[in-house]
Amino acid sequence: MVAPVLPSLEAALRADLVSLEAQHRLRSCAAVAGASRTSTTVDAQPLLSFCSNDYLGLSDHPALASAAADAIARSGFGSGGSRLVAGDLPEHRELEAELSAFLDVEAVLLFSSGYQTNLGVLPALAGPGDLVLCDHANHASIIDACRLSRARLSFYRHLDLSSAQKRLFALAPTARRKLIVTESLFSVDGDIAPLADLAALATKHGAALVVDEAHAIGALGPGGRGLCHEAGVTPDVLVGTLGKAFGTAGGFAAGSATLRKYLVNRSRTFIFSTAPPPPVAAAALAALKIIRGDEGDARRNALASRVLQLRGRLSQLPCRSPRSPILPIILGTDRAALDASRVLRTHGFLVQAIRPPTVPDGSARLRITLSASHRPGDVDSLAQALARLIPQ
């Protein structure tokens, strides 16, 4: 047997894992079980979870389950291939049409996840010779997508318009195409981009604006239409995910019919990947029907009141966006964040420690996310546990 390569790889991987563990950066997945994303169990211990992005509590909604079951009966489970090869199924077409109407855009293109959406959109729109301006706190999928594009990538300080403007003044004149990319509601900071100002800046410099509304669509904005809608901003590309407030899985890019046609022809994660399974698309459509109706309003109101309740109880924490369902509690060291998460677990709460490289060094934190499925009593008991843990 010839074997020296694999053992040395194995040794290198082990050494890397040992070093991650020594830095308190080793990650592993909690083995949760159960249909609910808020009341869960880990190793048979019942826990109240405050870490899913199921903001409206739709992931175990019976309407989604029955839409998925109907779609399996009608269209089967797997989509069988990429849509350009295996064809479009009615579930894909209907979801795209309804999302377009909901977001008031000409067209929507579905992807298999939000991550794949960013990875498909940005490298299709920008390449060598182009400039992408990126908020420093943007999600990993945006940063990876920017790097993949091979455009010149310049980071501006988080939410800082003048930092973005300086970079545009300095770099735009030599760039062919210019893009500004931001999240609307930031995934680990829970704050909100100055969307109207960024849109004005983009227009002034002839740049396109790409806004990732992964955490906002469904949960925030008029009728759950997101923060661009609320700010009266029409980005050139709106990116969304179906894995958070929609309680399902998948992602989408929304914009003009030309954009959609272009992405169908140029976006590698669309062209070279199996289309979302029809039951997943059907469940997302069922979620959309809830989101845009009275039940969606009721769930958003419940979410907003849980957010107010927890913020009221943790008033000592800095708060940049009072209505965000994402509440970071920055503890500094990785060790401190891990310890806090462990203590909460012993008190019956699942709250994950978020550490570098997800967040900058020295800003490890607990990331608390609220859901319409949390009961007021759940939030009260979490607030009590946190009050014991966080210095007042």
Ligand X SMILES: Cc1ncc(COP(=O)(O)O)c(C=O)c1O
**Catalytic residue positions?**
53, 139, 183, 187, 212, 215, 244
CB of 213 to ligand X, least distance (A): 8
Q: Which stretch binds ligand X (CB under 6 A): 96-104, 109-117, 203-211, 365-373?
A: 109-117
Position 367, amino acid:
R
Give CA–CA dist 277/76, Å, rounded. 8
Nearer to ligand X, 100 or 118 (CB): 118
Under the binding rule (CB under 6 A), the answer on residue 100 touching ligand X is no
Q: Count CA atoms within 13 Å of residue 312 on its CB side.
A: 9
Interaction residues for ligand X, span 206-245 (CB under 6 A): 212, 214-215, 241, 243
Strands (E), the chain: 32-33, 39-42, 45-49, 107-111, 131-135, 152-156, 178-183, 208-212, 237-241, 251-255, 326-332, 349-350, 353-354, 364-369
Nearer to ligand X, 221 or 251 (CB): 251
Give CA–CA dist 257/270, Å, rounded. 16
**42 phi/psi in degrees, rounded to 5:** -125, 120
Site string for ligand X, 124-143 (x = CB under 6 A): ---------------x-x--
* Token representation of residue 338: 């891990």
Give CA–CA dist 88/264, Å, rounded. 12
Q: Which stretch binds ligand X (CB under 6 A): 112-120, 123-131, 167-175, 345-353?
A: 112-120
Terminal Cα-to-Cα distance of the chain (whole angstroms): 63
Under the binding rule (CB under 6 A), the answer on residue 115 touching ligand X is yes
**47 phi/psi in degrees, rounded to 5:** -135, 145
Under the binding rule (CB under 6 A), the answer on residue 96 touching ligand X is no
Under the binding rule (CB under 6 A), the answer on residue 248 touching ligand X is no
Q: How many CB atoms lie within 10 A of CB 282?
A: 28
CA angle in degrees (0–180, nearest 5) for 54-59-62: 145
Rg (CA), the chain: 22
Site for ligand X (CB under 6 A): which residue of 183, 189, 334, 378? 183
Under the binding rule (CB under 6 A), the answer on residue 190 touching ligand X is no
CB contact set of 61 (below 8 Å; sequence gap of 6+): 247, 286, 287, 290
Question: What is the three-class DSSP state of 193?
Answer: coil
CB of 174 to ligand X, least distance (A): 29
Site string for ligand X, 39-78 (x = CB under 6 A): ----------------------------------------
CA angle in degrees (0–180, nearest 5) for 372-374-379: 125
Q: How many CB atoms lie within 10 A of CB 147?
A: 14
Under the binding rule (CB under 6 A), the answer on residue 37 touching ligand X is no
Nearer to ligand X, 68 or 214 (CB): 214
With CB under 6 A, what is the number of residues at the site for ligand X? Answer: 14
Q: Which stretch binds ligand X (CB under 6 A): 70-78, 111-119, 298-306, 316-324?
A: 111-119
Q: Which stretch binds ligand X (CB under 6 A): 75-83, 88-96, 113-121, 357-365?
A: 113-121
Site for ligand X (CB under 6 A): which residue of 221, 251, 278, 325? 251
Site string for ligand X, 320-349 (x = CB under 6 A): ------------------------------
The closest of 216, 231, 187 to 328, measured between CA atoms, is 187
CB of 148 to ligand X, least distance (A): 14
* Token representation of residue 361: 């060094």
Site for ligand X (CB under 6 A): which residue of 38, 40, 149, 187? 187
Question: For ligand X, which residue has the nearest CB?
Answer: 114
Interaction residues for ligand X, span 356-385 (CB under 6 A): none
- Chain residues that interact with ligand X, rule: CB under 6 A: 113-115, 118, 139, 141, 183, 187, 212, 214-215, 241, 243, 251
